[in-house]
Chain A
Amino acid sequence: QSVLTQPPSASGTPGQRVTISCSGSSSNIGSNYVYWYQQLPGTAPKLLIYRNNQRPSGVPDRFSGSKSGTSASLAISGLRSEDEADYYCAAWDDSLVVFGGGTKLTVL
């Protein structure tokens, strides 16, 4: 049981906009920055969004993050086949890093 709650799966067709939610509490998302990671099959996670809505250099602007209260979301616009991956949210919680359980995104 993960501290942060994500839907186990999401899907969309090429070109569509998809959002993935991440729900937490006042001790994690409610009081700390949210980070998002993309994990392609068989590879290490990659930082996708930091400090709620900032993109590291090289991450396309199709990816965006937002946060409101104790929830956050990741939006992917102009969906592409290479976006098919697992996505994880993360936040600091009191004395440790907590992750969501991950959302498997399928591009139909």
Chain B
Amino acid sequence: QVQLQESGPGLVKPSETLSLTCAVSGYSISSGYYWGWIRQPPGKGLEWIGSIYHSGSTYYNPSLKSRVTISVDTSKNQFSLKLSSVTAADTAVYYCARVLGIAVAGLDYWGQGTLVTVSS
């Protein structure tokens, strides 16, 4: 059974960098699929942040691209998200998920999500 678990600080100060990691178990990232990040502001809908392949190939949401970096560590079977220059608008539950392929919107396994609050 594929499982994903997000981890990272729950509170980040404005203008700083948000950093999260997604640990994958039950499946080797090196075996394939893309791996992605999605966020959901409190009481609002879903927003796709970006995806990465085990080779390091990435796709980012153009609206966030200037601030986002997604990386992968196949030796630890995990991938990470960095979002720089955060503001209150970046407060959200952040989910990691397995993506069914390139250029598709299918996300078949999700982490439980982690709430990140941006506040001083």
Contacts and interface: CB of A to CB of B under 8 A. Distances in A.
Given A95-B62, A96-B59, A96-B61, A47 B106 contact: yes
B107 A45 contact: yes
Nearest to B99: A97
B45 A101 contact: yes
A34 B106 CA distance: 8
Interface in B53-95: 59-62, 95
Interface residues of B, number: 22
B48 A99 contact: yes
Which of B38, B105, B110 has the most C-beta atoms of chain A within 10 angstroms of its own C-beta? B105
A65 interface: no
Contacts, number: 63
A32 B46 contact: no
Contact of B100 (A2, A34, A50, A91): A50
Given A2-B45, A99-B48, 14 more contacts: A34-B105, A44-B113, A45-B46, A45-B95, A47-B108, A50-B108, A51-B106, A90-B46, A92-B104, A96-B59, A99-B45, A99-B46, A99-B105, A100-B45
19 contacts: A32-B105, A33-B106, A35-B105, A35-B106, A37-B46, A44-B95, A44-B112, A44-B113, A47-B106, A47-B107, A50-B100, A56-B108, A88-B46, A91-B105, A95-B62, A96-B48, A96-B59, A96-B62, A102-B46
Interface of A: 2, 32-35, 37, 43-47, 50-51, 56, 88, 90-92, 95-102
